[in-house]
Structure 1
Amino acid sequence: MDFLCGNIKTLYFKFLAAAFGGALITSIYSLVDMAVVGQYQGSEGTAALVVVAPIWNIIYSLGLLMGIGGSVLLSTEKGKQISKCKHINEYFTAALYGTLFLAVAAWLIMIFFDRSLLMFFGAEDHLLTLARTYIQPIKFVLPCFMFTQMLAAFLRNDSHPGLATAAILAGGLFNIFGDIIFVFGFDMGIYGAGLATAIGSFISMLLMLSHFFTQQNTLAIIKTENMINRLKEICITGFSTFFIDIAMGILTILFNRQIMKYLNTDALSIYGVLVNVSTFAQCCAYSAGQAAQPIISVNYGARAKHRIIKTLKYALITVLFFSAFWTLTALLLPNQIVRLFMAPSFEILSAAPIIIRSYGLSFILLPFNIFSTYYFQALLKPRAALIVSVARGLIVSGFFIMTLPLLDADLIWLAMPITELIVALYAVFIMKRCTDHLFMEKAV
């Protein structure tokens, strides 16, 4: 694929199709688990998976830290057309070793401290038992989840987005059918959902590794003399994407604690549904960012401003579509969404519409805010990306989650709509500034 001379529209939508498929199937891992477990074990099963959700956020975000950070730098160097292949592959090598280190560390923590971790995330009594049962089979393949995120990013930047999508699709399809077979067919309950998810991730990683045996592959593990410096560059560049997923875990913890303090278990179950819907909306935003990023990064290295602006135009159109779709879904189909994830009680169906519609207003701006971090990363503006991700994922959102319930418990559902609005105002200003001043010396 020719990022420097190829038709921008063709390139973007080809990458969008691949990225969207991959992002969609990734989100299906948790969605199908929650839907099946909710139908099998009711609202307690749904609530248990809400408690586990921050673990997924941490694992995926660590993979994205290395994958997005390393692949952006690799693509930018390719665009300069002055770098030797060896220099470019230093970023891949450093990202690979960085992912290995993080995977082993996360693995050990999950094996020896899973109980303490889940209790910190809000699990107690029967919810703790269910949550530990779910993650039991996942412990065996925990690094696979991290490596699939890292490898998918590099495959997209190595002109093989189709394989990344096919690998994630294969694992996701196994997870869907495995959930049904293990949970209901073999009557394994929540353990079966965890088992299907674990096997699906292993399948995805194996298929991605096949890229290294194709003629298309330009990635290689090489001796890297500046390993520490390369890892530092990767972490700085990829941190904002990393924090987006980490922030979902942080926000889930804050919401869990505030909901149990001011509301009840029914509200927590509805929030569990919102977590999954929000994950879907967020994954759609990822796909727009992941489709645009390789094209923008290479052309940024080549200083091709007009191609960057054209790519941005197509990405913003995509973001607008996703915003409209998810907002309308939340506003028009609240109880239908709830029924998808559980067999709800009358109390849940009564409370769900106002909760989902209020929180769903955040979907108007969520896709744009997330895409903006990818855009800033592709232009090597990590500070702008960091401000957006930290503001919406911790500072601004955390402030409203903690303070709004003091006025009225139900105001907690407006915390994210208000946050997304404030962050979007900043992101629009900086995006315009970055685009207008491409290749000028002053950084944003």
Structure 2
Amino acid sequence: MDFLHGNIKQIYFKYLVAAFGSAIITSIYSIVDMAMVGQYQGPDGTAALAVVAPVWNLIYSLGLLMGIGGGVIFSIERGGNAKHTGNENQYFTVAVIGSVFWAGLAWAVLVLLETPLLTFFGANQTLLPLAQQYLKPVKSVFPLFLFNQMLAAFLRNDNDPALATAAVLSGGVFNVFGDWFFVFPCNMGLYGAGLATALGSVVSFCVILTHFFKRTNTLRLVKITSFFRKFSKISGIGFSSFFIDVAMGILTILFNRQIMKYPGSDALAIYGPIIIVSTFVQCCAYSVGEAAQPIISTNYGSGKGSRIRETLHLALGSMVFFGIFWTALSLACPNLYIRIFMSPTPAILAIAPAIIRIYAVSFLLLPFNIFSTYYFQAILQPVASFIVSVARGLVISGFLILLLPILFHAESLWLAMPITEFLAAIYVTIQMKRAAEALPEKDEEASDRKLKAMEG
């Protein structure tokens, strides 16, 4: 794909289809696990997986830290240097080394501090053993979840988005079948769901590795100069993507603890499906960001502002569609989520619609706010990306989660995210408009447009 001269619309939608498939199938792990465990174990199983959710946020966020941060710089280096001197592969090498470090650290924390970690995430005496059953097989391959995220990001920046999708698809298909087989015919329960997820990650990793045997592969491990400077640069660019998932884990912990303190365990069982659906909505935003980022970064490195604006317009249109779709579905069919993910009690079915409908209002602006972090990263504005991530992911949302039930009533807890997304969207709109106006405009872009007009 020629990011600098090719048809933007065709490139964008080709990448969007691949990235959307990859992002959505990634969420299959959580969705199928929640559905199978909820049907097998009931509300306690669903609540146990809600407790485990921050573990996934941690490992995926570290993969995004190295993958998105390294991938953005990789593409910008290529956009500014048509000869491909290999400097971009220094950033790939640093990202690989950084991934090994973070994977090892996260692995050690999970293995050594599992019980206090899950207790802090909201597990009680009933939920703790269930969560530990699920994590037992997952722990054996825990680093692969990080490597899959990181390598998939680089594959998209190395013109191989289809393989990134195929890798996630193969692992997801295995996970779907494995969940059913291990949980029900083999009667393994939560352990079986965890086993299917673990093996699915192995399948995805093996498929991703085939990229390095292709003739079109340009990713290389090379000698590094100024390792810590490059590592710091990758971390600075990738921090916002990292913090989005970390923040979701933090918010899950806060919600878990506040829910158990105020509404109670039935509400926590409902929050489990909400987490999954919210993850699904976030995946839609990730797919748009991942499709647009290589195009924007490469053209930013080459100074082609009009092509960046064209990509931005396509991405914003996609955000509007996803926001309206998920909000409308949630408002119209709230108990659909509950019936998919568990065998509900009458009490849960009675209180679920109001909770889901209030929370789902946040889905209208959530995709827009998350995409903005990818956009600001792609044009090297990490400060704006950082502010959006921290404000919506921790500062505003955390403040509201803790304060609303005290000031009003227990049910007001569910208003925290709609208010957060609205306030974040105001800042995003202002900053995105300023950034678009400051984009470069080269004479060669005008020449490109004239050439296209003549060809037409």
Task: Give the structure-1-normalised TM-score.
Answer: 0.98
Q: What CA deviation, in whole Å up to 9, does each residue of 1:74-132 have, x standing for no partner?
A: 10010002675321101000000000011111111111111111111111212000000
Question: 2:199 is matched by which residue type in structure 1?
Answer: I
Question: Which residue is equivalent to 2:153?
Answer: 153
Instruction: Report which stretch shifted further, 78-87 or 117-126.
Output: 78-87
Amino acid at match of 2:360: G
Q: Aligned-pair distance for 1:267?
A: 0.2
Q: Give the whole-Å Cα distance in 2 for the aligned partners of 1:192 and 1:253.
A: 25
TM-superposition CA deviations, 1:341-384 (whole Å, max 9, x none)? 00000000000000000000000100000000000000000000
Give yes or no for contact 1:77–1:83 (8 Å, CA) kept in 2.
no
Structure 1 moving runs of 4+ over 2 Å: 82-86
Q: Cα RMSD between the aligned structures? A: 0.9
1:176 match: 176
In the other structure, the counterpart of 1:427 is 428
Q: CA deviation at 1:18?
A: 0.4
Q: How far apart, in 1, do the equivalents of 2:416 and 2:84 lie? A: 48
Letter in 2 for 1:430: Q
Give 5+ residue unaligned stretches, structure 2: 442-456
Contact 1:36 1:179 in 2 (8 A): yes
SS of equivalent to 2:14: helix
Between the aligned partners of 2:270 and 2:104, the Cα distance in structure 1 is 34
After superposition, residues 211-222 of structure 1 pair within 5 angstroms as 211-222=211-222
Q: Kindly provide the CA deviation profile for residues 368-421 of structure 1, in whole angstroms up to 9, marking residues without a partner as x.
A: 000000000000000000000000000000011011111111001010000000
SS at the partner of 1:136? helix
2:83 & 2:436 partners in 1: Cα distance? Answer: 25
Partner of 2:397: 397
For residue 368 of structure 1, what is the aligned residue in structure 2?
Answer: 368
Q: What is the count of residue pairs matched by the alignment?
A: 440
CA distance in 1, matches of 2:85, 2:210: 21
Paired residue type of 2:413: I
Matched residue, 2:8: 8
The one-letter amino acid paired with 1:296 is I
Aligned positions of 1:240-259 closer than 5 A: 240-259=240-259
TM-score by length of 2: 0.96
Partner of 1:410: 411
Task: Letter of the 1:434 partner, please give it.
Answer: A
SS in structure 2 at match of 1:217: coil
Q: Is the 2:331–2:360 contact (alpha carbons within 8 Å) kept by the matching residues of 1?
A: yes
2:267 corresponds to = 267
1:230 corresponds to which residue? 230
* 1:89-100 aligned within 5 A: 89-100=89-100
Q: Per-residue displacement from partner, 1:143-191 (whole Å, max 9, x unpaired)? A: 1000000000000000000000000000001000100000001000000
| Secondary structure of 2:343's aligned partner | coil
Contact 2:397 2:416 in 1 (8 A): yes
- 8 Å contact kept, 2:95–2:234: yes
Q: Quote the Cα distance in structure 2 between the aligned partners of 1:225 and 1:79.
A: 21
Q: How does 1:305-316 map to 2 (within 5 A)?
A: 305-316=305-316
Instruction: Name the counterpart of 1:74.
Output: 74
Residue equivalent to 2:125: 125
Q: State the one-letter code of the partner of 2:266.
A: D
Structure 1 position 217, deviation (Å): 0.4
Q: Secondary structure at the match of 1:61?
A: helix
3-state secondary structure, aligned to 1:137 = helix
Q: Distance in 1 between matches of 2:205 and 2:84?
A: 29
Aligned to 1:377: 377
Aligned residue for 1:65? 65
Q: Is the 8 A contact 2:304 2:440 kept in 1?
A: no
- The one-letter code sitting in structure 2 at the alignment partner of 1:20 is F
Match of 1:162 in 2: 162
Structure 2: how far apart are the matches of 1:18 and 1:172? 15
Answer whether contact 2:63 2:150 (CA < 8 A) is retained.
yes
> What is the Cα deviation at residue 432 of structure 1?
0.3
Q: Measure how far apart 1:439 and its partner are.
A: 3.9
Q: 1:17, CA displacement in angstroms? A: 0.3
8 A contact 2:292–2:315 mirrored in 1: yes
Q: Secondary structure at the match of 2:86?
A: helix
Distance 1:282 1:102 in 2: 23
State how far apart, in whole Å, the 1-side matches of 2:42 and 2:135 are. 18
**In the alignment, what sits opposite 1:239?**
239
In structure 2, the partner of 1:52 is: 52
Equivalent in the alignment of 2:279: 279
Partner of 1:144: 144
Unaligned runs of 5+ residues in structure 1 are none
Cα distance between partner residues in 2 of 1:336 and 1:97: 43
